[in-house]
Structure 1
Amino acid sequence: MEELPDLGYVERLAATLGASESALRLLISLFAGYPLAVIHRLVFYGQAPNVQHLFFTLASLAIGYFNFGWEIAHSFINIVLCHVLMRSLGGSLLCIVLAFTLNVMYLLVGYYSVDTFNVTVCWTTPQCVLTLRLTALAFNLYDGSKNEDELSAEQKETALKDVPSLLEMTGFSYFFGAFLTGPQFSFKRYMNFVNGAYSDSITGGPPRSVMPALQRLMAGVLYTLVYQVSDLIIPDSFLLSQSFADMTIITKCLVITLWGKLMLSKYVGCWLITEGVCIMAGLTYNGRDENGNCLWNGCANIHAVEFEKASTCQEYIQAFNVNTNKWMAKYIFKRLKWLGNRHISQFATLFFLALWHGLHSGYYNNFALEFFVVKFERDMALVLAPVGLIHKFRSIPALGPSIIWLVKKLYAQFALSYALVSFSLFNYDRYLKVYAEVYYVGHLFLVLLWPLLFALVLSPMIRKSSKPRDTKEAKKTE
C-alpha cells in the first residue's frame, strides 16, 4: 500500500481506541465532511457551478490523499478515461458496454492488487462507489439518446441529453459527502443542487437543513460507539476462537445472531454520518410532506427505524444500503428483463453485487445465501397463507402479534448473521471453520432441505388445495 502522510497522532489514537489506522482515517474523513459543508454553505453556496465543482474536487482529493496517499490518483484516472469514452461515443450502447467493462475491470484489478486481509480500508473503498456512479452516468446518457416514450418514469428522472464536462464529472464524483462510502445519487440531482434548485424558498440561500443533519450525525455517532464497544467484546476473531468452539450449538447460534446485529452497526453509523453531511450541504432535499415539512431523505442509505423494526430478511434488505440496492435494481435487475426469468435476473444481480464487493469467496457465499433466505420467506408465505394459523395467532390480544414478531425477528437476524459470517471473514478457510461449528445448519436447511421439500411436497400440496377453491369460485361466477 502507498505510504501515507506521516501523522503519528492518527496511529497513536488508533492504538488507543483499538481500531485500525486505516479505519480511523476513514472515520476522521467522514466527520471532516461537516466543516466542509459549513464552508460550502458560507462561502461557495450560490457561486457559479464550476466554482463549486472545483471546491468539491479539491476538498475530496485532499481527503483521499490523507487516506490513501497518491493512490487516490486511480479514481481521477478512471474519471478521465470515462469522460473520453463518453465524449467519443456519446449515449450509444457501445459506450455503456465499454464504460461498464472499464469501471468494473479497473475495480477488480484494484482488488486483486491489494491485500485486503491486512488493510481494512484502501483506495478501492471509494473506487467501488465511483464504479457505480460512472456506470450509471453511461446508462443515463444512453437513456437520454432514446425517445421519451421508450423510457420508464424512473429512467426519465435521470436521463441525460448532453455529456458532462470533465469538471462537472469530477465535482459529481468527488462530492465530499459521498465519495468515500456513498450514498449514490444521480447526476441530475447533483446539478440541481449546484444550480440552487434546493435553496431556501424565502432567503434564496442555503436550505434550513442544519438540525436534520445534526440529528443524523448524533445517530451515526451512537451506532459507531455501539460497534466500537461491541467489537471489543465480540470481535470477528472470537468466532474463530477456542472459547466459541467450546460452546453448545444453541449458544453458538445465539452468539452469531448477536455478533451479526452488532457488526452491522458500523455500516449504519457510517451511512448516517455521511447522510448528515449531504443534508447539511443541501443535496438531499426531497420535497415536502403532507404537512408542508421539508423532506431530507433524498440520499438516505439506511432507514434506521425500519431497519430496527424489521422482522424479515426482505425488510432488512429494503432498509439497508438503500441507494446501492436501488442502483442494482435499476441498472442491473430491470435491464435484464429480456432474460424472461425473474430468478435468473435476481441471481445475476446478486452475483454482480458480490463481484462489486470484491474477489473473496465469502462475498459470493453471503449473497448466494441471501438469495435462498429471501426465497424461503416467499415460499413460507405461500405455505402459511391457506392455513391461516398466523392470522388466528395474531388475533390473540396483546401477546399474539408480539410473539410472532419476536420469532420472525430472531429467525431473520440469525439468517442474515449466518450469511454475514462469510462476508466478514472473507476467505473460505476462516468462515468454513465457523460454519462447521454449527454443522452448516443454514446451508443444509436453506440450500438443500427446504428447496427439495418445497418442490417435491409443499408446492404440489398448495396447488392441490387451491384447485377446489378455484373451481367453486368459477361455478359461482357462472
Structure 2
Amino acid sequence: MLGVITRVLQSISYVTSIPEPGIRLLFAILCGYLLAWFQRDFLHRKGATVKHVYFSLTGFGLAYFCYGIYVYHSLISILVNYLLLAVLGGTLPVVVVSFIFNLGYLVIAYLVVSTDDYDILWTTPQCIMCLRLIGLAFDLYDGNRPQEELSKEQSQLCIKTAPSLLQVTSYTFYFGGYFVGPQFAIRRFQDFVDEKFLANTDGKPPDTTLPALKRLFLGVVYATVHTIVGSMFTTEYLTSQEFDNSSLLYKVFFVAVWGRILIARYISVWLFAEGSCILSGLAFNGHDEYNQVKWDGVANVRLRIYETTWAWKGCIESFNINTSQWAARYIYKRLRFLGNKMYSQALTLFFLALWHGYFIGYFVCFFFEMLCVQLENHVTALVAKSPRLQNFFSHPVVRPIAFVCSRALTISVMGYAVVAFTLLRYHRFSQVYYSMYYIWHWLLFGWIPLFYFVLNPMFRKPKSNASQEPEKTTEEKKTE
C-alpha cells in the first residue's frame, strides 16, 4: 500500500513539477482530515490516554513517511525537553536551557543541511517544535510563579505540573500542527483532549465539518492561484537578464505581484492545516455575539483583513498570526525590563529571523518589517497632531485614493522585502535591489532623518497660551 502511494505521489510530482518532498508534505497535511474525522467520531468519550497514544502514533507515522529515519531528531527533542521539565520543574534556569537547546539544535541543523533554495526537510517541523517546546517550558515556569505576578494571558495558559512523556509526544506529533503549525499552547491541547471544546451541551462530538471544509476550499483556491499565476511570475526571472533590462515601473509591478503570489503558497498550507484542526475540534474559540460557535482558535491567517488592509501593521496582524502571537507572548512581552519598545521589537524580530535560518536575507526582511512599522507609526503620529491632515485624509474624495495608494505601497514594499527572504544570500537579492535602484531602501532609510529633523518639529503642537503665561500670585487672584 505504501509503495502504491509513493508511486502515485511521484507521478503527481512529475506532472506538476513540484518536488516530491513538497508533495509528501501536502499529502501528510491532507491526511490530517481523515485522522481528525476518525478521532472526532470514534474516539469521542474515550480516555485521554487513548487519544494521546492515537496522536503520537499517527503523527509519528506521517512524520516517518515524510522524513524517514530523520524523524529521530523530533524524538531527541521530545525526550530532552521532557527530562528537563520532569526532573528540574518549572524554573527560570529550565526556561533558559530549553531556549538555548531548542534554538541551538535548530540553528545547527540549518548550518548542516540547508541549501540556497526553499528546503522541505526534517528542519521544517523542527522549527515548529522549537517554538512549541520553548513555550511549554515558559508555561510551566509561569505555573510555578506567584499568581499576582502573572498577566491575564499567562494565568490562562500556564500549567502547574510537568506533562508526562506521552503527553509531550502527543502534543508535539499532533497531526494538525506538527508539519507547518499552527502554534498553540499545551493548555489548549489538554482542554481539547479532555473534550472541553464540544461546543454543545449534549455531550456529542462537535459539528465541525462545514467550517473545516470551508478552510480546505480556501486552501485549494490559494494553491491554485499560486500554481497558475506563479508560473508566470517565477523567482528565477528576478535574477534574469530580461528582468534587469526591464523598466523600473515594470520591476516594481512584477515584484509586487510575485511576492503576493509567493505568499499564497504559505497561506494555502496554513489553511489546509487549520481545516484539520477545526475538524478535530482543537480550533474551538467560544461563541460570538450572536451565540454562533467560532472555530478560529488556531487561525494562522485572517483572509478578510489580509486581502483588504492598507497598512503593513494590518498585514502583520493577519498573517502568520500564531507565530506572531507566540513571539509577542514569550519574547516581546518578556523584554519589558529593557524599558524600550523599540529594543524589544528589534530583539523579537532578530529572534524570528534566526528561527527561520542563518541566511542574511531573513534578517534583511525582518529589518524591513521593523522600518515599515516605524514609518506607519510616524505617519499616524503626524496626522494625529494636525487637524488639517485629519480633515484632508477623511475627505470623501481623498479617502479612497489614499487607501488605494497605501495598499499599493504596502504590497510593493512587502514583495520587495520578500525578495531577500526568498533569495537568502546577499549576492542574489542585492542583484535584484540594484537593478531596482534600491527604490524602497531610499524611502525607508530616507524617512528617518526626514521625520526626526523636518516633519516632527514642523508638526509639533505649539504650547497653549495658558501654559505660557506666568502663574498669577495670590494677591492678583484676590484683586480679580
TM interval, shorter chain, is over 0.9
What aligned pairs does 1:140-179 form with structure 2 within 5 A after superposition?
140-179=139-178
For 1:194, the equivalent position in structure 2 comes to: 193
Partner of 1:445: 443
Q: Partners in 2 of 1:65 and 1:5 — Cα distance?
A: 16
Measured in 2, the distance between the counterparts of 1:22 and 1:393 equals 53
CA distance in 2, matches of 1:247, 1:264: 24
Q: In 1, Cα distance between the equivalents of 2:187 and 2:54?
A: 19
What one-letter code is carried by the residue in structure 2 that aligns with 1:380? Answer: V
Deviates more, 1:400-409 or 1:178-187: 400-409
Q: SS in structure 1 opposite 2:462?
A: helix
Describe the superposition over 1:199-220 as per-residue Cα deviations: whole angstroms up to 9, x where unpaired: 2524312101111111111011
Cα separation, partners in 2 of 1:205 and 1:474, compared to 1, 3 Å: farther
Letter in 2 for 1:166: L
Provide, for residues 186-235 of structure 1, a one-character-per-residue CA deviation record: whole Å limited to 9, x for no partner: 11111111111112524312101111111111011101111111221111
Provide, for residues 273-292 of structure 1, a one-character-per-residue CA deviation record: whole Å limited to 9, x for no partner.
11111000000111111111
Residue number in structure 1 paired with 2:60: 61
Instruction: Determine the structure 2 residue equivalent to 1:92.
Output: 91
Please give the secondary structure, in 2, of the residue aligned with 1:162. coil
Query: 2:238 aligns to what?
Result: 239
Which of the numbers 407, 410, 413 marks the counterpart of 1:409? Answer: 407
Return the match for 1:427 from 403, 420, 425: 425
1:462 lines up with 2:464 in the alignment: no
Distance 1:116 1:165, change over 3 A: same
Quote how far apart the aligned CAs of 1:460 are: 2.3
**Which whole-Å CA distance do the structure 2 matches of 1:5 and 1:105 have between them?**
38
* Distance of 1:317 and 1:395 partners within structure 2: 24
Asked if the contact 1:46/1:194 (under 8 Å) is kept, the reply is: no
Map 1:218-257 onto structure 2 (within 5 A). 218-257=217-256
Amino acid at match of 2:216: L
Counterpart of 2:127, as a letter, is: C
Equivalent position amino acid for 1:184 in 2:
Q
Are the aligned partners of 1:46 and 1:205 in contact in 2 as well (CA < 8 Å)? no
Cα 1:309–1:118, aligned 2, differ >3 Å: closer, same or farther?
Answer: closer
The ranges of structure 1 where at least 4 consecutive aligned residues each deviate by more than 6 angstroms after the TM superposition are: none
Question: Alpha-carbon deviations, 1:129-169, whole Å to 9, x = none?
Answer: 10111000100111111111110001001111100000001
Residues 391-406 of structure 1 correspond to what in structure 2 (within 5 A)? 391-397=390-396, 399-406=397-404
Measure, in 2, the Cα distance between the counterparts of 1:117 and 1:439.
24
Secondary structure of 1:235's aligned partner: coil
Q: How does 1:47-446 map to 2 (within 5 A)?
A: 47-117=46-116, 120-388=119-387, 390-397=389-396, 399-446=397-444
Under a length normalisation based on structure 1, what TM-score does the superposition of the two structures give? 0.94
Question: Can you give the 5+ residue segments of structure 2 that lack an aligned partner in the other structure?
Answer: 473-480
One-letter code aligned to 2:316:
I
Cα distance in 1 between the residues matched to 2:190 and 2:273 = 19
Q: Deviations over 1:239-274 (max 9, x none)?
A: 111221121111101111111111111111111111
Q: CA deviation at 1:388?
A: 4.2
Give the Å deviation of 1:110.
0.9
Contact persistence 1:333–1:345 (CA under 8 A): yes
Percent identity between the two aligned chains: 35
Q: Which 5+ residue runs of structure 1 have no aligned equivalent?
A: none
- Whether contact under 8 Å (2:67, 2:122) holds in the other structure is yes
Q: State the shift of 1:467 in Å.
A: 2.5
Q: Is the Cα contact below 8 Å between 2:255 and 2:415 reproduced in 1?
A: yes
Q: Contact (CA 8 Å) 1:363, 1:422: kept in 2 or not?
A: yes
Offset of residue 115 of structure 1: 3.0
Rounded to whole Å, the distance in 1 between the matches of 2:390 and 2:117 is 51
> Contact between 1:5 and 1:69, CA under 8 Å: does it hold in 2?
no
Quote how far apart the aligned CAs of 1:390 are.
Answer: 4.9
Q: Higher mean Cα deviation, 59-68 or 320-329?
A: 59-68
Matches of 1:219 and 1:168 in 2, distance apart? 32
**Counterpart amino acid of residue 456 in structure 1:** F
Counterpart-to-counterpart distance in 1, 2:28 and 2:429:
31
Match for 1:196: what amino acid? Answer: E
Write the distance in 2 (CA, Å) between the matches of 1:357 and 1:395: 40
Whether the 8 Å contact between 2:383 and 2:390 is mirrored in structure 1 is no
Counterpart AA for 2:454: V
Distance 1:5 1:314 in 2: 47
Shift of 1:383: 2.5
CA separation in 2, counterparts of 1:22 and 1:426? 21
- The one-letter code of the counterpart of 1:335 is R
**Cα offset for 1:396?**
4.0
Mapped to 2, the partners of 1:72 and 1:126 lie a distance apart of 10
C-alpha distance 342-417 of structure 1, shift in aligned 2 (>3 A): same
Q: How many angstroms does 1:408 deviate by? A: 0.6
Whole-Å separation in 1 of the counterparts to 2:318 and 2:286: 20
Q: What residue identity is the alignment partner of 2:217? A: M
Distance 1:420 1:119 in 2: 13
Query: Offset at 1:403?
Result: 1.3
Q: Following TM superposition, by how much is the alpha carbon of 1:330 offset from its aligned partner in structure 2, in angstroms?
A: 0.7
1:384 Cα deviation after fit? 3.0
Higher mean C-alpha displacement, 209-218 vs 8-17:
8-17
Tell me, in whole angstroms, the C-alpha distance in 2 between the residues paired with 1:312 and 1:118.
30
Number of positions where the alignment pairs a residue of Structure 1 with one of Structure 2: 470
User: In the aligned structure 2, how far is the partner of 1:395 from the partner of 1:347?
Assistant: 33
SS of residue in 2 equivalent to 1:468: coil
* Deviation of 1:46 (Å): 2.1
1:87 is displaced (CA, Å) by 1.1
- CA distance, structure 2, for counterparts of residue 366 and residue 197 of structure 1: 40
Q: Which amino acid aligns with 2:175?
A: F
